[in-house]
Amino acid sequence: MLSVDDYLVFVDDALDAMVAIIEELGDDLANRRLDIPGTNSPYVLLEHCLGVMEFWAGHLVAGRPTSRDRDAEFLAHGPVAGIAARARRAREQFHGDAAGAHLSAPLRNPPAPDDADLPLGRTQGGALFHVYEELAQHRGQMEASRDVLRAPWGVLAQGWVDAPPPR
């Protein structure tokens, strides 16, 4: 059985890597979307992951109220320093939420009906595992986006998209 402390090592590694990527990219590149349908900027991916942490660990595991606006996460943009600071605060809150979790206990708030019968919607441990799943997935997307955004041939490509995609 994986301890919460060991689990947090994996979560911290993913979150810290995501923050490092946006800090490396800076305000301009961190907010850029590639000209590929459905892509998100590195900034958006981190914003979404902060929402995932707040909802799945804060609301479903710890039982706090939530005002998450998932759709707004995918429209987010702004200065890197602000989201990096929020990510560091979210990390500390997440540590407290995970430490207070009872891994085999049911969620403290009901999940979406589509999630209720899935492992992520049945137990606090499942919800916490889902947070790591999201962080790992989106870290990989951020790494790929960073590589393209920083590639010498990438700056010559036409059609970089700085605005949110049409809805």
pLDDT of residue 155: 53
Domains of the chain, CATH where assigned = 4-151 (1.20.120.450)
CA atoms within 13 A on the CB side of 107: 24
Over range 77-83, report the average pLDDT: 98
pLDDT of residue 35: 81
d(CA 36, CA 82): 27
Statement: residue 166 has pLDDT above 70: no
- For the chain, what is the radius of gyration of the CA atoms? 17
**Model pLDDT for residues 35-62, shown as the tens digit of each residue:** 888 899 999 999 999 999 999 999 999 9
